[in-house]
């Protein structure tokens, strides 16, 4: 009952819900973007690590004559 009365009052005074809705949509978009970045961050980190890994070098096959 009080909720309906509050909504009616807000509508009577010209309260615009579109600002709240667009703010909520922007917040939701930022949240999903943050989640997608955090999911892909592990994959990117592991890819970077694998490229930095030292390759196995056969020391016997190196030509050390100068």
Task: List pLDDT tens digits, range 22-56.
Answer: 888 888 888 888 888 888 876 766 665 555 556 67
CA distances from 66 to 5, 62, 63 (A): 91, 12, 8
For residues 41 and 21, the model is more confident at: 21
Q: Would the pLDDT of 2 be above 70?
A: yes
The pLDDT value given to residue 50: 56
The total of other beta-carbon atoms located within 10 Å of residue 51's CB is 6
| Residue labelled with tokens 């999911």 | 39
CA angle 26, 19, 21 (to 5 degrees): 55
> What are the CB-based long-range contacts (under 8 Å, 24+) for 27-34?
none
pLDDT band of 5, cuts 50, 70, 90: very high
Residue 56 has a pLDDT of 75
**Paired tokens of 26:** 């922007």
């Amino acid at each position: 009952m009080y909720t309906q009365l509050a909504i009616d009052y807000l509508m009577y005074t010209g309260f615009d819900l579109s600002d709240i809705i667009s703010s909520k949509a922007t917040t939701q978009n930022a949240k999903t973007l943050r989640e997608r970045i955090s999911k892909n961050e592990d994959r990117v980190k592991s890819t970077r690590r694998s490229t930095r890994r030292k390759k196995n070098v056969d020391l016997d096959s190196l030509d050390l004559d100068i």
